[in-house]
């Protein structure tokens, strides 16, 4: 009997402690959020009053941005975030996944804007009415990375397709993302261009993982893989793998922004999405993007479409106009 009451008292104490913890966690969450926004606004010392007034005018200050792992892993958005939040008074809520899932979040109404890199899927997305307009704005190059001694001998290939053909011929391990991401789609295009069906081959490893995990696996197996440059440079895999082929014409990787259409999801933050797109196309963001990575890697990780060669600028404006006409 005595032990029973003791046990009850213990149980009550445990419940009370859990409840207290829960309350603390809740109040802490809101507290840190408000303190974060407070520090963000105090950071903008010069434009404090401006951001305060714009914050008052903003109905919903949170923009949910769905992006790909390659953008997020490169660190670009966290780098731009404070500048953006200071300039506009909006806050970013960034989620990252493979391009397939990143776009899906737009379809399910779980994002306000997309920042992705898979042209065909993006156009399909716009055509089904989920997005307002596809706005390509920056690019970089995919790279083929592999062991430094390059057993397949792809170093001097002119195109990615040629390099892939050599890898297949040599039977060296190739690690594929296999996750329907933009990089995965690009890789499959290159295999197709090379006229090879890698699926089911002994040397073809379908990792079904994000870029970081795929690079780790390629490094462990000392095999080849296709990566975006930014993620590779930021990943520890660059200690045992090197870039063997980059910047060939068939390796260009264009990133676009898409605002989610309020027609499909009336509660999306379309004002926020437009503010995001407008700011990203503006001078401040352009300069920040063009300089991103220069200090650390000696070269920018992303290039702006307008600032690049006339050919790519033309293709960009062409695709932009085709996108706007489609919408």
> Which residues are at the interface with other proteins (CB under 8 A)?
97-98, 100-105, 108, 178-181, 205-210, 213, 217, 219-222, 240
CB of 301 to other proteins, least distance (A): 23
Instruction: Of 183, 180, 210, 181, give the one whose Cα is nearest residue 73.
Output: 210
Q: What are the b/e assignments for 83-119, b being 16+ CB within 10 Å? A: ebbbbbbbbbebebbbbbbbbbbbbeeebbbbbbbbb
DSSP 90: -
> From CA 5, how far away is CA 157, in angstroms rounded?
79
Nearest to other proteins of 42, 201 (CB atom): 201
Under 8 Å CB-to-CB from 19, ≥6 apart: which residues? none
Nearest to other proteins of 58, 114 (CB atom): 114
Nearest to other proteins of 160, 173 (CB atom): 173
Nearest to other proteins of 201, 291 (CB atom): 201
CB of 180 to other proteins, least distance (A): 4
CB of 135 to other proteins, least distance (A): 21
Dihedral pair phi/psi, residue 202, rounded to 5°? -60, -40
**At CA 163, angle to CA 236 and CA 233, rounded to 5?**
20
Nearest to other proteins of 74, 181 (CB atom): 181
CB of 146 to other proteins, least distance (A): 15
Exposure on the CB side of residue 327, measured as CA atoms within 13 A: 21
Nearest to other proteins of 102, 157 (CB atom): 102
Task: Specify whether the CB–CB gap between 94 and 77 falls below 8 A.
Answer: yes
CB of 199 to other proteins, least distance (A): 9
CB of 111 to other proteins, least distance (A): 12
CA 8 to chain centre: 52
């Amino acid at each position: 009997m005595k032990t029973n009451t003791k046990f009850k008292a213990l149980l009550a104490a445990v419940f009370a402690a859990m409840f207290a913890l829960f309350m603390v966690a809740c109040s802490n969450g809101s507290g840190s959020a408000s303190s974060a926004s407070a520090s963000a606004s105090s950071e903008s010392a010069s434009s404090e009053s401006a951001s305060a007034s714009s914050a008052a005018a903003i109905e919903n200050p949170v923009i949910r941005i769905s992006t790909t792992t390659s953008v997020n892993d490169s660190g670009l958005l966290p780098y731009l975030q404070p500048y953006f939040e200071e300039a506009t008074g909006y806050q970013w809520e960034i989620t990252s996944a493979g391009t397939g899932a990143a776009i899906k979040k737009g379809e399910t109404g779980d994002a306000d804007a997309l920042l992705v890199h898979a042209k065909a899927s993006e156009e399909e997305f716009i055509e089904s009415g989920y997005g307002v307009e596809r706005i390509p704005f920056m690019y970089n190059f995919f790279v083929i990375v592999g062991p430094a001694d390059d057993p397949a001998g792809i170093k001097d290939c002119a195109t990615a397709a040629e390099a892939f053909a050599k890898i297949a011929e040599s039977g060296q391990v190739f690690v594929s993302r296999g996750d329907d991401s933009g990089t995965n789609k690009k890789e499959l295009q290159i295999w197709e261009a090379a006229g090879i069906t890698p699926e089911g081959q002994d040397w073809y490893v379908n990792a079904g993982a994000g870029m970081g995990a795929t690079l780790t696996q390629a490094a462990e197996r000392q095999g080849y893989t296709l990566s975006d440059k930014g993620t590779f440079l930021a990943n520890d895999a660059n200690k045992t793998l090197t870039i063997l082929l980059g910047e060939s014409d068939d390796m260009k990787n264009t990133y676009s922004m898409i605002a989610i259409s309020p027609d499909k999801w009336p509660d999306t933050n379309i004002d926020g999405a437009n503010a995001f797109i407008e700011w990203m196309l503006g001078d401040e963001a352009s300069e920040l993007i063009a300089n991103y990575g220069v200090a650390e890697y000696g070269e920018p990780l992303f290039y702006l479409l307008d600032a690049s060669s006339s050919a790519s600028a033309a293709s960009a404006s062409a695709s932009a106009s085709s996108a706007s006409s489609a919408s």
